[in-house]
Chain A
């Protein structure tokens, strides 16, 4: 926000901002406007030159500086901020509506009160034509997990969890040091330092089978970095193995659902994609479950693993006692 393009909104907001906070420190005001103290002083100097027609001493905006603080002594009629633009009201109010629809973030009552007040103040700029119905299905157990995680974060304690890892299709007990509770695309995650993995991990709240708040403090090591979510929650690592898969039309949803690179459109509406995977057993389960609607082109060992698993399953099923309908 430091560019000159943002200067006008700031100049129009500054006088009312200072009127509401007599004797505020310039440093603090600069922080609120996300600019340097030097830039803010320049803005104040500019405003000092502005005023009402006549432009005599009594017509100009007047500021009084005392040490590193500032107050407005004459506002020249600029007492209130400019109303919100349609875009501003939309961006803020839709975000608030989304917050109100997301379970477990904030007291939804407070969010609704904030919405009502901002709508009233925004007047005509209220967004229309947008409906936010998150429609999140949260199981009661997940809600309980979320509350326990939140409590642990609030008091800064470590957690003992029994967690189902979908990529490994395994349940493990681990001790984790909670860092953040994240809600991305309406799905809740605990970001924590996992003592078992020795790394930062995201744990989906609906995959906790058990959770206990420990007496010991949460102590993620100093080098534990928060996950970069700019590329989404599932960002494949560059060193992960990659597979080339051909998807039939009714398996094309895979390309929409998982991070994939679309390589080529083939005849018959088929799609060739490149997928990275962290765990081969997960990839085998995915392709096997697509039941022939997806074909692995490479690597050969993945294609072979899929074929072998299918053959072994058919062979084992032949050992089952024959039931009446077959």
Chain B
């Protein structure tokens, strides 16, 4: 941005902040320095339109209205109470939280936005030491679909995107009335009304491929009052559970440290010529336990229950004999 334009914009903001009356474009042209450079009405009009757009993009609440019903054209002003950031004073530990929050995102876009907020908080008199050494460095990862979905949620606009389920190569276009974006166990989801299924659904952001497109008008989405977004996502993923069964395993001496650290020794046993421990292990998800145990090959054998022993044997046989084993 040229120095002349930056200067003009600052003057425009100051002029509109200082007036209670709406100032018409013509009046602004007359008083704000910089517009005198416009050589024609058309050039001024283009310049002024660009400047209004710039102010709105900066988040400046530009009000339009007429001072009296007899005024032929609308004018502009900035209401101070809408422009100004409210009073804020942060204690040192609160400011430390803000400093850390600004560094939390791994997305340059969100980091930039958070830094923009920090500049304003500092201008409000808050002292934030961004480079203060911290013991803990947290990072939050976002997906490319995060920003467009959040914007669509806030604007109440329907979205369309391609979605791939984890177990299938098929990409299917989904049309969703988005209600909210939810973080759960370090993964992001969007929850809403799936128009194709005519039912509420949640989608993992990491499985959205390509662009998120907006469909229809803003304000079209109505989020039902009784929906708890977090429950919606948490309810569809595995809940914390208590063990469903207990397994007895034989583990060769000096092997399978990962299994050993989760199991309790209950005895000794020799299999063939090989000595090992008999250990007990709580099972939470028997299918994934079978994967895990099978992965250890001859180092871990299942003594009981039979159903687990069979699951592990089936896996190993499929590896030895191929797909039709």
Task: Check if B18 sits within 8 Å of A52, measured CB to CB.
Answer: yes
A98 touches B306 (CB 8 A): no
| B102 contact from A92, A107, A256, Cβ within 8 A | A92
Q: Within the complex, what minimum Cβ distance (angstroms) separates B179 from chain A?
A: 7
Partner of A288, one of B119, B168, B179, B319: B319
- The yes or no answer to A217 lying at the interface (CB within 8 A) is no
Q: Is B186 within 8 A of A78, CB to CB?
A: no
Interface size on A, residues (CB 8 A): 128
Q: Say yes or no: is A143 at the interface (Cβ < 8 Å to chain B).
A: no
Q: Which residues of A contact B9 (CB under 8 A)?
A: 8
Q: Which of A76-101 contact B (CB under 8 A)?
A: 76-92, 95-96, 98-99
List B262-320 residues whose CB lies under 8 Å from chain A. Answer: 271-272, 274, 290-298, 301-304, 306, 309, 313-320
Determine whether the beta carbon of A209 is less than 8 Å from that of B240: no
| Contact among A20, A77, A253, A314 with B123 in the assembled complex (CB-CB below 8 Å) | A20
Q: How many residue pairs between the two chains, A and B, have CB atoms under 8 Å in the bound complex?
A: 385
Q: Are A90 and B113 in contact (CB under 8 A)?
A: yes
B93 touching A91, Cβ below 8 Å: no
Residues 163-200 of A contacting B (Cβ, < 8 Å): 164, 166, 169-171, 180-187
Q: A117-B90, A130-B180 are in contact. Are A82 and B58 (CB under 8 A)?
A: yes
Inter-subunit contact B139/A53 (CB<8 Å): no
Question: Contacts of B89 on A, CB cut-off 8 Å?
Answer: 117
27 contacts between A and B (CB under 8 A): A12-B58, A13-B119, A13-B122, A21-B125, A46-B6, A53-B32, A81-B124, A82-B84, A84-B85, A88-B113, A88-B116, A92-B117, A98-B104, A105-B100, A105-B138, A130-B150, A133-B234, A134-B185, A135-B185, A180-B135, A252-B166, A289-B293, A289-B295, A289-B315, A290-B291, A295-B323, A314-B316
Which residue numbers of A lie inside 8 Å of B, CB to CB? 1, 4-5, 7-14, 16-17, 20-21, 32-34, 46-47, 49-53, 55, 76-92, 95-96, 98-99, 102, 104-107, 110-111, 113-114, 117-118, 120-123, 127-137, 150, 153-154, 164, 166, 169-171, 180-187, 209, 229-230, 232, 249-250, 252-253, 256, 265, 269, 271, 284-293, 295, 306-307, 309-317, 319-320, 323, 325-326
